[in-house]
């Protein structure tokens, strides 16, 4: 059975507290459990003060078979940030503008060049999703069409190549949208004149959606995966046509990414759970202890702020 842990963002103290609360103990410097494994949902790096320590906990667990892990959008962004553009001299696949440098700055500051290069090589090996016996795991969104597009470009989860990364940065290529969906979620444009400020105070005219739900009868406010939108307009037909709700009888799917808030975790649907509760923004580090159930339970969340709770 598995314990699914959400976005860590350099918060090693909370990670150790959570692992201990879940019954994991250090054996020869590697956390393990006699009966269970962790599944990490990515976003190990950026923002927090203990990025190196987080990687020193996570990587030995994964390499030693005590945990599984998927890639987060911050790991993918790091790959692009450090990959030179073959067609543009002295340029990289992710622009080194002030916003992107600021977002990645703690990782650069905290990891020596040799360690950073080693981590970049490891990030290339991470799968973008896991389809396991009884459950599915992905950083942001489970979408069969997007998964198929990525699978065709990355057979057998081979290490990501420069060609893959360059293709995934081309907005004209289907791989671009597929990776965006899997690692960042589905997005829709708001009606003209509508906007909101996100968690980092950037003004947005598009919003991530509750992709796992049917959009029928919903407004932009109710279909958005944020409480910052006050648009009561009915969804446009193009949004309805493009939707692919996650079936209620499908395997439970676990996601991170979305900076959820609240005093305690809540299920998104009976078979959809988000375990990102904004530890890097004053929230808490969250896990779901899965026992094999098809219908998920609020009682199986564990989380740590200053003290572990369940």
Whether the predicted model's global pTM rises above the 0.75 cut: yes
Q: To the nearest whole number, what is the mean pLDDT of the chain? A: 94
Residues of the chain above pLDDT 70, percent? 98
- The answer to whether 190 and 220 have CB atoms below 8 angstroms apart is yes
Domain locations along the chain: 2-309
Pairing of strands 203-204, 37-40: unpaired
* Token digits of residue 102: 């600021």
Q: Model confidence over 55-76: pLDDT tens digits?
A: 999 999 999 999 999 999 999 9
- The answer to whether 3 and 38 have CB atoms below 8 angstroms apart is yes
The Cα 85–Cα 169 span in angstroms is 10
The Cα 104–Cα 116 span in angstroms is 12
Ranges of H-type helices in the chain: 12-21, 51-63, 73-81, 98-110, 113-123, 144-153, 162-168, 174-184, 220-223, 237-242
The Cα 173–Cα 102 span in angstroms is 28
Across the chain, how many H-helices and E-strands are there?
Answer: 10, 17
| pLDDT attached to residue 87 | 83
Classified as helix, coil or strand, 264 is coil
Q: How many residues does the chain have?
A: 310
- The answer to whether 269 and 212 have CB atoms below 8 angstroms apart is yes
The Cα 187–Cα 257 span in angstroms is 14
**HSE of 280, CA atoms in CB hemisphere, 13 A:** 24
| pLDDT attached to residue 309 | 54
Radius of gyration of the chain (CA): 19
Average pLDDT over residues 210-231: 91
Q: Model confidence over 244-254: pLDDT tens digits?
A: 999 999 999 99
Average pLDDT over residues 108-131: 97
- The answer to whether 101 and 44 have CB atoms below 8 angstroms apart is no
pLDDT level of residue 306 (50, 70, 90 thresholds): very low
Torsion angle of C-alpha atoms 150, 75, 259, 96, degrees rounded to 10: -110
- The answer to whether 55 and 20 have CB atoms below 8 angstroms apart is no
Q: Does domain 2-309 have CATH number 3.60.21.10?
A: yes
């Amino acid at each position: 059975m598995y314990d699914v842990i959400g976005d860590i963002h350099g918060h090693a103290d909370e990670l150790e507290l959570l692992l201990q609360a879940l019954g994991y103990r250090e054996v020869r410097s590697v956390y393990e459990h006699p009966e269970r494994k962790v599944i990490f949902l990515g976003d190990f790096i950026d923002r927090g003060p203990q990025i190196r320590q987080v990687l020193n906990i996570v990587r030995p667990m994964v390499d030693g078979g005590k945990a599984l892990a998927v890639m987060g959008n911050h790991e993918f962004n790091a790959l692009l940030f450090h990959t030179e553009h073959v067609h543009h001299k002295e340029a990289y696949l992710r622009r080194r503008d002030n916003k992107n440098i600021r977002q990645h700055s703690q990782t650069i500051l905290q990891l020596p060049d040799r360690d950073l290069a080693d981590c970049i090589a490891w990030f290339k090996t991470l799968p973008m999703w896991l389809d396991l016996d009884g459950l599915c795991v992905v950083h942001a969104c489970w979408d069969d069409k997007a998964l198929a597009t990525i699978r065709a470009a990355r057979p057998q989860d081979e290490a990501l190549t420069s060609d893959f990364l360059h293709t995934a940065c081309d907005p004209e290529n289907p791989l671009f949208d597929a990776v965006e969906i899997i690692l960042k979620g589905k997005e829709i444009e708001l009606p003209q004149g509508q906007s909101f400020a996100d968690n980092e105070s950037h003004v947005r005219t598009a919003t991530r959606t509750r992709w796992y739900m049917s959009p029928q009868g919903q407004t932009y406010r109710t279909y958005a995966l944020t409480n910052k939108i006050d648009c009561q307009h009915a969804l446009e037909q193009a949004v309805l046509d493009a939707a692919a709700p996650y079936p209620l009888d499908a395997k439970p799917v676990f996601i991170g990414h979305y900076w959820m808030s609240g005093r305690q975790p809540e299920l998104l649907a009976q078979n959809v759970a988000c375990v990102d509760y904004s530890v890097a923004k004053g929230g808490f580090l969250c896990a779901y202890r899965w026992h094999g159930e098809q219908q998920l339970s609020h009682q199986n969340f564990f989380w740590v702020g200053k003290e572990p709770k369940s």
